[in-house]
Amino acid sequence: KKIVSAATDKTIRIWDAETEKQIGEPLTGHTDIIISASFSPDGKKIVSASYDKTIRIWDMETGKQIGEPLTGHTDGVNSASFSPNGKYIVTASRDKTARIWDAETGEQIGEIKHDNDVNSASFSPNGKFIVTTSDDRTKINIWNA
């Protein structure tokens, strides 16, 4: 019933899918364009990825950022998404890595390296695998999560 969008104006917006109207005020905090935003499986959180090299987690109800930004990427972040159980986040970056984070603590717990920009990374529906795509022309890679 809700849609989340990321924008080049450095905002995240939540929309009512039926009325097509914006819900509440835009979420702000990133300092560069936002490339990706997605809901947690339970719909209570949003994760966003930006060219400011950070990942941020937002409370869906309050619109406030939860904790500090997740940092560690050395270039813009292209995508961020939750695992099916909501406990982990996987990110893809122009720094040639995909990284796995603990969604509660914000601690980085894993890293996947490529030879070029990583465009996207996501968990499989059962959470056992991570799929990445990269500009290194390796097609699609499947990794044991």
Closest CA to 46 of 5, 99, 107, 93: 5
pLDDT digits (tens, 9 = 90+) for 68-117: 999 999 999 999 999 999 999 999 999 999 999 999 999 999 999 999 99
Residue 142: strand pairing partners: 131
Q: Which residues of 56-77 are buried (b: 16+ CB within 10 A; e: fewer)?
A: bbbebeebebeeebbebbeebb
CA dist., res. 126 & res. 84, Å (int): 7
% of the chain surpassing 90 pLDDT? 93
In the chain the first and final C-alpha atoms are separated, in Å, by 30
Q: What is the pTM of this model?
A: 0.94
